[in-house]
Structure 1
Amino acid sequence: MEFKWLVRDELSQLKDIDRKEFVGEVYYVRNQTLRLVKEYYDIEGWLESELTIYVQRLESLFDRDGIIIGAYEQDVLVGLVSLESYLIDGKTMKLDMLYVSHDYRGKGLGRRLIDIIAQEATELGAKELYISATPVRNTVDFYLRLGAELANPPDIYLFELEPLDIHLILPI
């Protein structure tokens, strides 16, 4: 596995990440507590419109001096993590994205990408990462296993951007 800091013209490789997943449970926050609900989704991959928006988001982050790191297996992007370039409140940096290809999940790649980006954030003065996670059980449970907790209260601006996400804080 090779890890590298991506440049702007490599960001469209996000399409190479196989994001398929069958979802059977999602989280909602009720009374500052996580509640698990059975909901079913079969995510087959990227929707072209969604992929375009995400690549544009990465390009914008890159232009703001954000950090984008890719994980490659035989020259194919199989994981990506990105970090905003600024401190939110003097101690927190926003984890922008984390994607790991289907066949690489559960093998430590996500944790390795978080470790790498956490080191970058620490070097920039952060003490914690703010995570706005999709409410899918596998995603939220991953962050909880790393030691993340519900953001209480969530950042007002970030919550307004993604009110259905689960907003977490991960000490680093």
Structure 2
Amino acid sequence: MEFRWLARKELEKLKQIDRKELVEEVYYVRDHELRLVREFYDIDGWLESELGLYLQRLQSVFDGEGVIIGAFDNNVLVGIVSLEGYLIHGKTMKLDMLYVSHDYRKQGLGRRLVDIATQEATELGASELYISATPVRNTVDFYMRLGAELAMPPDAYLFELEPLDIHLILPI
């Protein structure tokens, strides 16, 4: 596995990540607590419109001097992590994106990417990561195992952008 910063021209490799996932449970925040609800989604991959929005986000992170690191297996992008290039409240960096291809999940790749992002954030002066996580149980449980906690209160601006996400803080 090769880990490296992505060049702007490589951002389109995001589509190489196999986003397939069978979701059976999602979280909602109710009364300042996580509540698990049974919901079923069969995510087959990227929707073209969605992929375009994520590529725009990556380009914005890149242009804003953020951090974008890819995990490559035989020159195929199988994981990606990105950090916004600025501090929130002088101590927090936003973990903007983390994706790991379906066949590479539960093998420590996501943790390795977060570790790399954490090291970069620390070098840039951050003491915590802000995570706006999709409410899928596997995703939220992953971040909680790393030590993330509910952001109480969530950042108002980031919450407004993604009100259905689970907003977390990960001390680093």
TM-score by length of 1: 1.00
Q: Which amino acid counterpart does residue 18 of structure 1 have in structure 2?
A: D
How large is the Cα RMSD of the aligned pairs? 0.3
How far apart are the structure 2 equivalents of 1:19 and 1:6?
A: 19
Q: 1:60: how far off?
A: 1.1
Quote the residue 2:127 is aligned against.
Answer: 127
How far apart are the structure 2 equivalents of 1:89 and 1:109?
A: 30
How far apart are the structure 2 equivalents of 1:15 and 1:164?
A: 24
Quote the residue 2:79 is aligned against.
Answer: 79
Per-residue CA deviations over 1:53-109 (Å, capped at 9, x if unaligned) read: 101110111001011000000000000000001110111000000000000000000
1:68-107 aligned within 5 A: 68-107=68-107
Q: 1:170: how far off?
A: 0.2
Q: Which amino acid counterpart does residue 110 of structure 1 have in structure 2?
A: G
Quote the residue 1:34 is aligned against.
Answer: 34
How far apart are the structure 2 equivalents of 1:64 and 1:87?
A: 12
How far apart are the structure 2 equivalents of 1:35 and 1:3?
A: 35
Instruction: Please list every run of 5 or more consecutive structure 2 residues that lacks an aligned counterpart in the other structure.
Output: none
Quote the residue 2:20 is aligned against.
Answer: 20
Identity of aligned residues (%): 78
Q: Which amino acid counterpart does residue 55 of structure 1 have in structure 2?
A: L
Following TM superposition, the consecutive aligned residue runs of length 4 or more in structure 1 with deviations greater than 6 angstroms are none
> Aligned residue pairs: how many?
172
Per-residue CA deviations over 1:27-46 (Å, capped at 9, x if unaligned) read: 00000000000000000000
Instruction: Please list every run of 5 or more consecutive structure 1 residues that lacks an aligned counterpart in the other structure.
Output: none
TM-score by length of 2: 1.00
Quote the residue 2:118 is aligned against.
Answer: 118
